[in-house]
Structure 1
Amino acid sequence: MGRWADVIDEGALLEALNSTPMVDGRPQDLWADDAVLRRWAREHGGPADTSALDWLRTTRDVLQTATRGPVPEAELQRILAGVSRLPEVGGSVLRWRLQAPPERLIAVELVLAWYDVRERRPGRLRPCGNDECRLFLLDRSRANTARWCSMKTCGNRLKARRHQERARQAPAS
């Protein structure tokens, strides 16, 4: 099966990476619910059968690991096994048709989106600077200085905590 590449954009990539948030101090997996993941897959043009959902969860986990540290090449090679892109010409336009097993097609597109972001925006896709947060951010700032998934939540929380620590350590006058 094949189709045009680039179906998964940066927003969809972040949704996938951020599908395992901390809620009230406990890790959650939003994709543990088949109905939620099936809806996400359909919204992004993918199949929603059990095998495709399993591949999506595996791919998400591999990409989270790769974004936090060393790229797990063996796992990525397993996801990308037997995949190819074929050029197709339509008038003056050249497009690349992605060919992959149907159950892995959307998972492969997720991997391709991840690599595309890393290439076009090097160093800008990263984990939140709050060690207690499991979310990721794509820094679109000019200076590439964003540290938190959200200034409103993680940024303010960490700044408040640092302020309290400084206040406790300050000598009483």
Structure 2
Amino acid sequence: MPKVVIGDIDLLLDLLNTTPVVDGVPTDALDDPRDAARWLGERDLPRSPAAAASARRARDAIARVVRGEEPARTLEPFLEGVSRTPSIGDDGVRWELSTGSADPFGLRCVLAWAHLQETLPGRLRPCANDDCRLFLVDHSRADTRRWCSMAACGNRLKARRHHRRATSGNGGD
């Protein structure tokens, strides 16, 4: 099986983060065909409407799994027709991936998700700010990162908590 490289994880995170909230309004970078073509092209991916549809399907399915809204089995259709075959050589056993009729982009993203689940279980997560729709990969040693950005979501939530404590007069939440 080909190794999932860091670039694939970056691609997965970029894909999951194509639905940000901008000025309080949810947006979708893959909704408009021109924007989708630009996003795909910037990542050296095909700019076709089919590629954009594939990206949206993969994004939405993986996002639901990461948010805990759907079980991991939801991703099974992206693996349809995929198999691994061992071959032995002078260096040992190698696994070759046969993609069959699987959607290459969806498969690539699901493999990146699976690699993260294996190497950093639970570290791909949605931002803890309920008003935010972004995702993060927590690389902190203590596994404590909660926000997509401390400057944006982290400070905003801390400021809200401080304001509630200050106005409640009891210092508690």
Q: TM-score, normalised by structure 2?
A: 0.82
User: Are the structure 2 counterparts of residues 95 and 81 from structure 1 closer, same or farther at C-alpha, using a change threshold of 3 Å?
Assistant: closer
Q: Secondary structure at the match of 2:18?
A: coil
State the shift of 1:39 in Å.
Answer: 4.1
* Secondary structure, counterpart of 1:96 in structure 2: strand
Aligned counterparts of 1:91 and 1:46: Cα–Cα separation in 2: 35
Q: 1:43 to 1:36 in 2, by over 3 A?
A: same
Most deviating of 88-97 and 22-31 = 88-97
Letter in 2 for 1:34: P
Give the Cα–Cα distance (whole angstroms) in 2 for the partners of residues 54 and 64 of structure 1.
15
CA contact (8 A) 1:47 1:106 kept: no
Bigger Cα displacement from structure 2, 114-123 vs 32-41: 32-41
In percent, how many aligned pairs have the same letter?
44
Secondary structure at the residue paired with 2:46? coil
Q: Secondary structure at the match of 1:20?
A: coil
Q: Secondary structure at the match of 1:31?
A: coil
- Return the offset for 1:118: 1.0
Q: Which residue of 1 aligns with 2:163?
A: 164
Using CA pairs under 8 Å that are at least 6 residues apart, name the structure with larger relative contact order, 1 or 2: 1
Paired position in structure 2 for 1:150? 149
Q: Is the alpha carbon distance of 1:42 and 1:106 closer, same or farther for their aligned partners in structure 2, counting shifts above 3 Å?
A: farther
Cα distance between partner residues in 1 of 2:163 and 2:139: 30
- In the alignment, is residue 96 of structure 1 matched against residue 96 of structure 2? yes
Are 1:124 and 2:123 matched, yes or no? yes
| TM-score where L is the length of structure 1 | 0.82
Query: How many corresponding residue pairs?
Result: 168
Q: Once structures 1 and 2 are overlaid, which stretch shifts more, 143-152 or 48-57?
A: 48-57
1:59 and 1:110 in contact (8 A); partners too: yes
